[in-house]
Amino acid sequence: MKTSIRPALVIFGALTLICGVLYPMAVTGIGRAVFPAQAAGSIVEVDGKAVGSELIGQSFTSPRYFWGRPSATAPMANNAAGSGGSNLGPMNPALTDAVKGRIAALMAADPGNTAPVPVDLVTASASGLDPDISLAAARYQAGRIAAARGLGTEQVRALIEREAHGRSFGFFGEPRVNVLALNLALDGKTAHTR
């Protein structure tokens, strides 16, 4: 029995050291050297103050700002520590009721808008933390924001186009816009990622 315990403990110790200490330190070191902003959380700063992350959505509720995707994280919206979707299937009445409520809220906030409501404004993602919305979702909100800020709708639409990002690597996903960056641009703020 002693002959089999000693090699097992040595292997256990060696694998713990390699997989639990050396490998994470190496990956973290490489990440910080090659992608310093991303490894630090892609924190967005304005005038030296952290205002959010490029990677985690935030809740904006004022009609003067673009609104992001709904978040299903608990116990509060956009909780990075509780990432996850609602897990409600397409036939679940609770999902239907939630979507109807979100559509009603969007229509109440902008009663003159007769455009179809983009799906990403009324459904949460799997992570519940999406920082981006589709260009259609941003354009849908342009009239409300223009009216609330006393701007022309075309000014807001031009800002959307300026802040838009294309597909990742030219073919993954859909064109999108980061809600935090868009709202900072609305306020005329210059954001820096640290």
How many other C-beta atoms lie within 10 A of the C-beta of residue 126? 12
Question: Rounded to whole angstroms, how far apart are CA atoms 18 and 24?
Answer: 9
Contact 186, 137 (CB under 8 A): no
Note the pLDDT of residue 194.
63
Structure tokens at 124: 């949460």
Question: Rounded to whole angstroms, how far apart are CA atoms 100 and 109?
Answer: 14
Identity of residue 13: G
**CB-based burial of residue 63 (10 Å sphere; 0-12 exposed, 13-18 middle, 19+ buried)?**
middle
Contact 183, 66 (CB under 8 A): yes
**Domain limits, the chain:** 1-34, 36-193
User: Is the pTM higher than 0.85?
Assistant: no
SS3 at position 19: helix
Task: Determine the average pLDDT of the residues in 21-44.
Answer: 92
- Min mean pLDDT across 79-83, 107-111, 114-118 is at 79-83
Q: What is the CA radius of gyration of the chain?
A: 22
Instruction: Using pLDDT thresholds of 50, 70 and 90, give the confidence band for residue 74.
Output: confident
Q: Which residues pair with 178 in a beta bridge?
A: 132
Give the torsion through C-alpha atoms of 69, 177, 174, 137, to 10 deg: 50
The DSSP symbol for 187 reads: T
